[in-house]
Chains A and B, each alone.
Chain A
Amino acid sequence: MEATLPPAAPALGDARRGRNYARKYWMFTVPAAVVVAAVILFPWLFTLVMSVFDWKVSGNIYFVGMKNYVHLYEDSRFRWAVARTLYFTGLAVVFPMILGMWAAVCFATKFKLRGLARTLFILPMMATPVAIALVWTMMFHPQLGVLNYLLSVVGLPPASWVYQANTVIPTLVMVETWQWTPLIMLIVLGGIAGLPVDPYEAAIIDGASGWQMFRFITVPMVWPFIIVAAVMRLIDALKTFDTIFVITNGGPGTSSETINMLLYQTAFGYYDLGYASAQVLVFFIIIMAISIGLLRVRRMERWQ
């Protein structure tokens, strides 16, 4: 757009100003760049440095080389946290993706009260996570919780929800699904809104069913949006903190202790900042590796 500017201005007699337009715009970014350097770049670098030190908040700081990373490799608590995080993330990506795509297809259709329904649908995603986590906690209460009452109404035995090691992660996934399906819906809906009508008309004339149109027209055409939604969901699921922290705080025992929860414990429970920094770095590498892996899937899909 502004590429048209430099030739235009000299024609009107001020060659110098014309030439400098493109160069001076970077000045607008200086204040933000300074702040970003201070609160985003600096912490990244500082984390890198801290991870090779035995760094306690109390003030004792010793250089230890790769010891934190070796410790991390041998630490079974960390390995379990990684496994739990992957388990949680896998479920917390799949369910919101399925429901979110379904919801996107529904909300792309015109129907009565669509605006209201959509607003209500996205409320869970906007609401303060701590507040909703609190209400879920009350709903999970074994004796007085409304969820076990609802189960008893339909004749099912009470569930242990977050109070047992084998049900706690699926239950947290349920909360996560409830909260983040709307974001998938919004991203996929944005893709569907830009689709042409013609392929659908042709498909209907050829007698395609609704499912066939979804599978063979909608999904391939909004595939880039689906991948973006999946990557966003993946990153957010890996980083989930507020709801797990409030609802279970990693418990019972350590059965819902994800990497992020362990990280919090190490840094602000045990104040072992060096070791926590090493965990941050490994965590970051895991996030990047999985995200890039998923983006590669997108490219492979395109080759076929």
Chain B
Amino acid sequence: MTGGVEIVAGQAKKPATTGAYAQTRAVNPYRLRRWLGRLGLYLSVIFLVSPAILFFFWMFSLALKTELANTAYPPVFIPNPPTLANFVKVFADNDFLSYTINSVIVSFSATGLALLLGVPAGYGIAKSRATRAAVLILVARVTPGLSYLIPLFLVFQWLGLLGGYTPQIITHLVLTVPIVVWVMIGTFEALPVELEEAALVDGCNIWQAFRYVSVPLAKPGIVVGMILSFIFSWNNFIFGVVLAGRTTRTLPVAVYNMLTFEQISWGPLAAAALVVTAPVLLLTLLMQKEIVAGLTAGGVKGG
């Protein structure tokens, strides 16, 4: 920000100082300072962003190389030629297709249910100004995921549901409902009341005003809540590792099991990691603005 402000203010400063100070030097100190500022900015950005770039570059590199190139020393950086054999191996040998389906079932159900419950709840809280209800959501965020897992694990065991999809979907609601409610409170509070008022005056009941006026207006917020809730659910590992059965494992659990059961076979492992995280990375690249808006609204993350 300092750089941006400097440009604005520089125009004001220049005439004020040129006479006394700047003329005594060959190089205009203001321009030098500004140039150094820009250089510092670019170096900072490169320093800050390069760990992320290098990491994901290395992830792709591992996934696209043969086993021989992956265990070479010094390491091979650019796959030459790149191979898709690792991805084929992941889907052929490790049954990743069914794990992907599991992940889709769990994340989509948990997100869909969270929207069904959370959108009206956010509306109700925003309209009745029950801000205390929001505190509960904050406390839910503070609580470690494991602490939900211990009692819920027992309940699912008693009900004989362990190993199926149901326990996973229900526990994922711990992550998805709070984030949707949180985003929706903010969204509905920010909506203009006039349209809804008009609907009520014209004889809608509050349900109709919600369904036909507020919800369509809140669509951008619903999209934000949906994306975040999907990402939190998709990325979740700890619930799956305890509650999932052999056939209902989600992708993060499946890829973790690859690590423990398969001795170092880096290509397929990296390819599997990439498959797991690819949908989330794609969503981030495509919907960056919505995701940032949602995350900064409350600084909320799942877990």
Contact = CB atoms under 8 A, between A and B. Distances in A.
A107 B73 CA distance: 38
Interface stretch (B82-90, B124-132, B216-224): B124-132
A28 to B, nearest CB: 3
Interface residues of B, number: 110
Contacts of A109: 1-4, 41
A141 B71 CA distance: 11
- Counting chain B CB atoms within 10 Å of each CB, the highest count among A22, A36, A47, A238 belongs to A36
Contacts of A134: 255-256, 259, 269-270, 273
Contacts of A143: 73
A25 B150 contact: no
Nearest to B251: A128
Contact of B173 (A5, A39, A50, A144): A39
Contacts of A178: 51-52, 55
Contact of B157 (A4, A5, A57, A260): A57
Contacts of B231: 126
B120 interface: yes
B18 interface: no
Given A26-B124, A134-B259, A120 B130 contact: no
Given A5-B200, A190-B296, A47 B150 contact: yes
Contact of B174 (A1, A29, A40, A241): A40
Contact of B125 (A29, A138, A210): A29
A91 interface: no
B294 to A, nearest CB: 10
Interface of B: 1-6, 8-10, 12-13, 16, 37-38, 41-42, 44-45, 48-49, 51-53, 55-56, 58-59, 62, 71, 73-75, 113, 116-118, 120-121, 123-125, 127-128, 130, 133, 136, 140-154, 157, 170-171, 173-174, 177-178, 181, 189, 193, 197, 200-201, 205-206, 210, 231, 234-235, 237-238, 242, 251-253, 255-256, 259, 264, 266, 269-270, 273-274, 276-277, 280-281, 283-285, 288, 291-292, 295-296, 299, 301, 303
